Amino acid sequence: MRVITGMARGKRLKTLDGLDVRPTSEKVKEAIFSIIQFDIPEARVLDLFAGSGQLGIEALSRGAKSCVFVDQSRNSIGIIRENVESCGFGERSRIINAGALEYLRSCPETDIALLDPPYSKGLLLEALPLLESKISTNGIVVCEHEGGLVLPERVGRLIKKREYSYGKTVSLTTYTTEEQ
């Protein structure tokens, strides 16, 4: 895994080994950042279910103002810390060891939320209602999920903007807080 572009371009990122870990593929990561590229500069980013932190680090590399990384696994938190420090983003990062739903109940407002939860556990359907009041006006939510999962057209203030499919196993759904 590498950072695609920006200040940390080409930097190798560590990831955890094992079957429980499913890093975002390069193809899907490129698609995510193609979708949100013009919204990243100076944005406050939330990398929920952060894993290795690669999505938040990519956002920081492309000019995000800050990123909060949230994961419940202590092992993931250790990898995120290593990756953030090796890329030089420590001052613009906050790393939180907590469950995503627990964090969303009291988190501050954010501009861009990147959600990549474990598949087939219904976590997106639980997270979106908690997240919708935390997204700034003109904010964006990007959900990576298993192919075939259909997310709601609207969740409170969040309006589904687009759905993208990458083979049979991976889909992206984006939401905004107003029609753009």
> Cα separation of 75 and 151, whole Å?
30
Highest-pLDDT range among 40-44, 143-147, 163-167: 40-44
The separation between CA 48 and the C-alpha centre of its own chain, rounded to angstroms, equals 5
Evaluate if residue 35 carries a pLDDT over 50: yes
> Percent of the chain scored above 70 by pLDDT?
96
What pTM value is reported for the model? 0.94
Q: Say which CATH number the domain at 143 has.
A: 3.40.50.150
Number of domain units in the chain: 1
> Cα separation of 6 and 117, whole Å?
25
Assigned domain for 2 exists: no
pLDDT digits (tens, 9 = 90+) for 136-153: 999 999 999 998 899 999
Domain range for 72 is: 26-176
Assigned domain for 17 exists: no
For tokens 């890329």, the residue is 87
What is the reported pLDDT for 180? 46
Assigned domain for 14 exists: no
Assigned domain for 4 exists: no
